[in-house]
Amino acid sequence: MKKGNEFFNDVYDVVRQIPEGRATSYGAIAAYLGAKRGARMVGWAMGNSGYHPNIPAHRVVNSQGELTARELFETPTTMQERLESEGLVIKNNKIQNWKHHFWDPEKELQL
């Protein structure tokens, strides 16, 4: 697994490719980058994404579609508001119809 900034930049490159109205998980990004056990590192990268422009961090959630990082945004509702503006329905901090909205980088992208 790549270390530090190089890994973070790879994470950001993947996140920038998530289409509007779709979302993915920390683990799916980690698996795509060849770091199957690296979901926490992806989470760490997303927690630092505010320092980088044009990263739709609101489209990255946990493996169940839960908005676990909502507290890291400008307000606790910003993540939900951004997802809803893209057509997703959120109830109890979870994307509804998660399997339909899930974007799998391993199927959508090529290394």
Cα–Cα distance measured from residue 99 to residue 88, given in angstroms and rounded to the nearest whole number: 12
Residue length of the chain: 111
pTM (predicted TM-score): 0.91
pLDDT in tens, 85-104: 999 999 999 999 999 999 99
Cα–Cα distance measured from residue 104 to residue 81, given in angstroms and rounded to the nearest whole number: 22
Contact between 91 and 55 (Cβ < 8 Å): no
pLDDT in tens, 15-47: 999 999 999 999 999 999 999 899 999 999 998
Q: And the tokens for 40?
A: 């926490």
Domains belonging to the chain, first-starting first, are 4-105 (1.10.10.10)
